Amino acid sequence: MHKKIPPQYIPEYIAQQTALIKNRVWLLCIMALGAYFFTTVISVAVFPEEFNTQEILPAVFLLISAIFVLWLNRRAQSLDETTLNAYLFTALLLAIITKMNLIYYENPEWNSAIYVFIFIFVSYVIPFRPFETVIVAVMVVAAYTFFALFSQRLISGSDRVIIDFKSYFEGLIFIYTAFVLSFVIRKKETLREIENFILLKDVEAKSAQMQRELELATKIHKTLIPKSMSTDLADIAVLYQPVLYLGGDYAKFHFVKDDTLVFIICDVTGHGVSAALLVNRIHAEFEDLIKEGKEPGQLLRELNEFIIRDFGRINMYLSAFCGLLDFSKNRFVYSNHGHPTQYLYRVTDSSILYLGSQTTLLGLSLGQEEVYQHEMPFDRGDKILLFTDGVIETMNSRGEEFGRERLERFIRSNYAYTADRFNRQLLTDLNAFKADQFRDDIFVLTIDVKTPRST
């Protein structure tokens, strides 16, 4: 049977079989003890007058045999050792059953059925290989033959060896039938076990390969996530924590001129490989669009056209927020397509401005070519907080979301922190709030305005 298993898997298969048979030998010993003593107790309780004191010795022998085999089984290290333990206990059990049958020799037909039961019972509990059931059958036949010879001596009262061939061969037919059934069943079971083992190893190998590819893809995907940076004009801090290997959240920023910063944050519907692939395409398209010097509204409109054109048939959508800071004119321009309301904290009056959605998700074709964007001034010390919905949808053990109110209180309490510390403190608060694990990607992009230039 081992020939069907690839050579590299044979040691593991043997180790599994060894562990399995060790457990089954333990089960066989416990079940045999339990069945023997349970039936004895019931028999004594119901028919106390039929109890024979000769049963005591087999009972003690069975208990000692079980303890001895369990001790050997615990020390066994190889498949051959565990199989020998199974053979040993089977032989001892047959010897005990034969002794009991000789005590109650008056019903040879009933006694022969007990051997058939023992054969089926042992073959069912111990996952013998098909050829090993032959050895068990030989032991059963030997025990049955011994009983057939000596039971007739007890019945006849003669010292001569007498055998009732008719009863004997009838018993052999039953044992042979049990052997054929056990052999066929064990052959099919063994083949199925090997096929399942090989299938499992193939699945594990493919899973391991997929795991390696996912880890590599994750490393590649992370190269799209911008690094935090600090300039004379702004501190920009990035915090990204995907819920899976690959996420659908994305952000990017560029100084397209020395005094102009363009940035985007978006969230693709769904997670995993499909979302990550779309993020890769968006990244490439965004890089091309910002080189053309487009402002946020026009940039997102053309990005929407790209998504509809290339992904319209697969129903993938995303929310996106794109902004532009013109430090030479203290001018902030933004466009929000279906993204959660983002925040601008004004340090001059300690107010929070809401940068809400202006239209639907990217990827939805509404037949409109309108450019959605809004413009406002900004000042030194202002803080812009961009995030994906995983932040406000983080849930606690009571089923409450972190929500906007908590996030706004956090902004008011921690606005003075540097952008990097602000993000780290926000993650700390989210971790303290959440019930178990994050259910969605966490992406935060915080911009601290340092020195906008006045005209």
Express each pLDDT in 7-48 by its tens digit: 888 889 899 999 999 999 999 999 998 888 888 788 777 777
74: tokens are 């615990």
Residues 186 and 314 in one domain: no
Nearest to 142 by CA among 109, 171, 183, 106: 171
Asked whether residue 188 is domain-assigned, the answer is yes
**pLDDT tens digit sequence for 305-351:** 888 888 877 778 899 999 999 999 999 999 999 999 999 999 999 99
Residue 213 covered by a domain: no
CATH number of the domain bearing residue 440: 3.60.40.10
8 lies in the same domain as 139: yes
Over residues 150-187, the pLDDT tens digits come to 776 655 555 555 566 777 888 888 889 989 988 998 88
Please give the torsion angle defined by the CA atoms of residues 161, 166, 168 and 171, in that order, rounded to the nearest 10 degrees: -170
Q: Tokens standing for 329?
A: 């004119």
218 assigned to some structural domain: no
Backbone angles phi, psi at 234, to 5 degrees: -155, 150
Provide the pLDDT for residue 266: 92
For the stretch 360-402, pLDDT in tens is: 999 887 766 789 999 999 999 999 999 999 999 999 989 899 9
CA distances, 66 to each of 30, 59, 69, 92, 117 (Å): 8, 11, 5, 9, 19
Could you tell me if 267 and 437 are in contact, meaning their C-beta atoms sit under 8 angstroms apart? Answer: no
Q: Is there a domain that residue 454 lies in?
A: no
Is residue 23 located within the same domain as residue 57? yes
- Are the CB atoms for 365 and 385 separated by under 8 Å? no
The DSSP call for residue 451 is -
Counting residues of the chain whose pLDDT is more than 90, the rounded percentage is 47
- Amino acid 84: pLDDT: 94
Q: Which helix (H) or strand (E) holds 378?
A: none
350 and 239 in one domain? yes
Residue 351 lies inside a defined structural domain of this protein: yes
The Cβ of residue 210 has, within 10 Å, a number of other Cβ atoms equal to 11
Structure pTM? 0.64
Residues 380 and 299 in one domain: yes
pLDDT value at position 444? 96
Domain boundary among 176, 207, 238: 207
Question: What is the C-alpha separation between 200 and 195, in angstroms, rounded?
Answer: 8
The answer to the question of residue 33 being in a domain is yes
* Cβ atoms 395, 441 nearer than 8 A: no
Regarding whether 274 and 167 lie in a shared domain, the answer is no
Residue-wise pLDDT tens digits, 270-299:
666 777 778 888 888 888 888 888 899 999
Same domain, 157 and 95: yes
Whether residues 236 and 384 share a domain: the answer is yes
The label of the residue with tokens 């819920």 reads 243
> What integer is the mean pLDDT of 142-152?
83
**Residue where one domain finishes, among candidates 178, 207, 236:** 207
Residues 116-136: what's their mean pLDDT?
90
User: How many domains does the chain contain in total?
Assistant: 2
Cα–Cα dist 455/452, whole Å: 10
Q: Could you tell me if residue 219 is inside a domain?
A: no
Does one domain contain both 193 and 277? no
Q: Are residues 168 and 240 in the same domain?
A: no
Mean pLDDT over each residue of the chain, to the nearest integer: 87
Q: Is residue 220 part of a domain?
A: no
Q: What is the DSSP letter of 395?
A: B
User: In terms of domains, do 315 and 417 share one?
Assistant: yes
What was the pLDDT predicted at 455? 46
Q: Are 26 and 166 within one domain?
A: yes
| Domain span at 313 | 225-449
pLDDT score recorded for residue 152: 62
Q: Residue 322: its pLDDT value, please? A: 96
Residue where a domain terminates, one of 207, 240, 259 = 207
Upper half-sphere CA count for residue 60 (Cβ side, 13 Å): 5
Q: Is 90 exceeded by the pLDDT of residue 430?
A: yes
